Every structure is written in structure tokens, then in C-alpha cells.
Amino acid sequence: MKILVCISHVPDTTSKINFTEDNTKFDANGVQFVINPNDEFGLTRAMWFKEKQGAHVTVINVGTTETEPTLRKALAIGADEAIRVNAEATDGFSVSKQLAEVAKDGAYDLIIAGRESIDYNGGMVPGMLAGLTDANFVNNCIGLEVEGTSAKAIREIDGGKETVSTSLPLVIGSQKGLVEESDLRIPNMRGIMMARKKPLKVVDAIETQVETSSTSFEKPTPKGAVTLVDADNLDELVNLLHNEAKVI
């Protein structure tokens, strides 16, 4: 089985985010980048298929040279090879087109993409990729088994879970729950050394049209000051909740 895992290069959630050019551009200075968490759950599941069923795992990213350390980390975790499409990731549609072009040439049985990236949270790429490659699609996937050309997937729905049967080729939108958080892998020294010898192929981007763009960014409103009330002063607490917070 050939598996393609789509990897997004996203800011670490602990990074301090700033914007430049009158809040129209993201400031990447000093920001630590990581594998998108939803993609990491998918990559870990792909490693299970590699170890249990002998699957061949390729990771792919649409990005410039700055994203290569993230791809190398995926190789250190255990992927067999990496592909970087040499283009800046702009909007979901153009990224999907670039990924689909590579996927069609590779004839992959299973494509795993995180249901959304934690930077823009567009949630568009997995579904668009399935449509562009004419593959079956299961989003919000929290369970996946593959036997031959058949697959059984569990996806999260409002108020519960749904189990579906489908066939390959298949695209899934992976998320937390596809594997346990305790199963996520940290590259060890052997993996890091082996990753240096694994192929990282750079392919030219195809010409695409950018359908959407971000016009401006705005940070969340800072939290207000905290008023501390003595534990024995219930009258003051009731007064503040009633007259200032207006919650009672």
C-alpha cells in the first residue's frame, strides 16, 4: 500500500504571534514551526500501516525551503521519503491543486491530510484533494483499518461516531483520536541520522490561480483585569457580580 501524508508547516501554539504591514502580514520572526497536530496524528497512523502491513509512506508539503526541517522531522519519525512542492502555500484551493498533481502521478492508495491546519483553520484541503483526485473521502476520521482494497473508517459526528465502509483510493481528514496522544512519536537520534539519508525531492509547482487571500489580521481582545475578593466578604462579591459583571 502506498500512503501519501500531507504535512503543514505551522507555528507552535506556544509562539507569540505578531503581524506587520498594518496587520496584513504574519510576522514569522522568532516563531518556532512544527508539524500541524492533525497531520501528526495521521502520520502516526501511517507509521502503524508501515510497520504492520509494509506500507510505503511518503510525506509531502507545499512550501519554500523554510519548510524542509518540518519534512525532515517527519522522515525522522519514520516516513520513507519526502516531497516538497516548491511554492508558497497561499490558499486552500491552490494547495489542493499542487498536492493533487503529485498524488495523481504517484498513484497512492491512501492519502492522509489533517482535517484542518491550526494556523488558518480553513478545513478545505482534504475534501478538495479528494475531489481533484476522484477518491473516496472520510473527514474527521478517528479510526481507520485497511484490508486489501477495502477500508473501514470511524468519523466523529455531532453527538457521536459513525462507522463507514469504503474502498481505496481514499482520502481521510485526520484529527485527534485517530491514534492516542501517547502514541505520537518523538524522533530519536537514530531516526534523525537516518532522515539525513532519506530522499527529499523538490518538484516544481504547477500554475494555479489564488482564489482567496487574507486582507487583515486581528489579535483577540486582551483579557480584563482580575478583581480579587476576600473569601469572607460575600457581600462585596455579590455586589460586584450584580452591578459590575451583571451576571446575577
pLDDT 10s digits, 68-124: 999 999 999 999 999 999 999 989 999 999 999 999 999 999 999 999 999 888 899
pLDDT at 3 over 90: yes
Average pLDDT over residues 200-207: 96
Residue 240 counted as domain residue: no
Residue 222 counted as domain residue: no
Residue 227 counted as domain residue: no
Residue 183: partners with Cβ closer than 8 Å, 6 or more residues away:
44
Residue 132 domain boundaries: 2-217
Residue 235 counted as domain residue: no
Domain count, the chain: 1
Cell of 95: 494547495
- The residue whose grid cell reads 537514530 is 190
pTM of the shown model:
0.87
pLDDT category of residue 7 using cuts at 50, 70 and 90? very high
With pLDDT > 90 as the criterion, what percentage of the chain qualifies? 78
- Least confident range of 82-91, 184-193, 198-207, 212-221: 212-221
- Tell how strand 110-114 and strand 160-167 pair up: unpaired
Residue 120 counted as domain residue: yes
Residue 154 counted as domain residue: yes
CATH, residue 82: 3.40.50.620
Distance of CA 205 to the CA centre of its chain: 21
Local structure of residue 221 (DSSP, 8 states): P
pLDDT at 132 over 90: yes
Q: Rounded CA gap, 13 and 108, in Å?
A: 31
Residue 160 counted as domain residue: yes
- Tell how strand 110-114 and strand 2-6 pair up: parallel
Residue 243 counted as domain residue: no
